[in-house]
Amino acid sequence: MILYKIGGLGADERVFEKLTLNTPSVSIKWLVPETQESLKDYTFRISKQIDQSEEFGIIAVSFGGIIAIELRKILNTKTIILISSVSISDELPYKSLRIPLSRLVKLIPGALIKPPQFMMNFMFGAVDKELLSKIIRDTDPSFIRWALHKILTWRHNNGEGELFRIHGSTDRLIPLKGIAHIIKDGGHFMIVDRADELSVLINEHIQSC
């Protein structure tokens, strides 16, 4: 089985570098969103990077998990592994504020769309602050705006389908809700900071599929 890897909000394959996977894997590349592009249409374009002639699974982090769930609607995915992400929209925080926040996101100037580094370090609970800084620096502000709006307006509450969700008990960005394998004291950046521990869990899951 091939495992396709989808990073977080603009984050590329660097977030998976410290994992040790016992199966072939391929990194999905983020695409530049088209003007007013819907999440459904964006996901369809992303799906072209997946070879459907072979059995495959998806491992996804944060916003990538939402893309993975949307991909499952159009592709025959063997398994989905969600890390620091959500399987349904009710697991996202700030339910009552999502619509006002989605409108606010459209008004924030591009120069201010990226929070200060100290805030990102705190929210991500990052130990490897240098890598987090590089990822945030390299992320296109227009992509951040588009993705934030899609996260805040995402509606999906069908939890059916095979998936394995891993979540940190101290994730400040997406506090734990719902069913997941819990990583004690794990933060939102545990895909990097707790890579050895996560590798064991991921490989055990893949072996059981």
What's the CATH number where 125 sits? 3.40.50.1820
Residue 97's pLDDT band (cuts 50, 70, 90): low
Per-residue pLDDT at 166 exceeds 90 = yes
Reply yes or no on whether the pLDDT at 193 is more than 90.
yes
Strand order in the sheet with 80-83: 25-27, 2-6, 56-61, 80-83, 163-168, 181-183
- Please give the tally of structural domains in the chain: 1
- pTM for the whole thing? 0.93
- pLDDT given at position 138: 87
So what's the pLDDT on residue 114? 83
Percent of the chain with pLDDT over 90: 69
Average of per-residue pLDDT across 106-117: 77
Domain assignment of residue 146, given as a range: 2-208
Could you tell me the pLDDT band of residue 15, with boundaries at 50, 70 and 90? very high
The reported pLDDT for the residue numbered 120 is 87
In this structure, of 51-60, 79-88, 119-128, the range with the lowest mean pLDDT score is 119-128
Give the phi and the psi of residue 90 in degrees, each rounded to 5: -70, -10
For residue 103, what pLDDT is reported? 76
Rounded mean pLDDT of 83-105?
A: 83
With H, G, I as helix, E, B as strand and everything else as coil, classify residue 47. helix
Q: Does 90 score more than 70 pLDDT?
A: yes
CA distance 53 to 192: 31
pLDDT of residue 10: 62
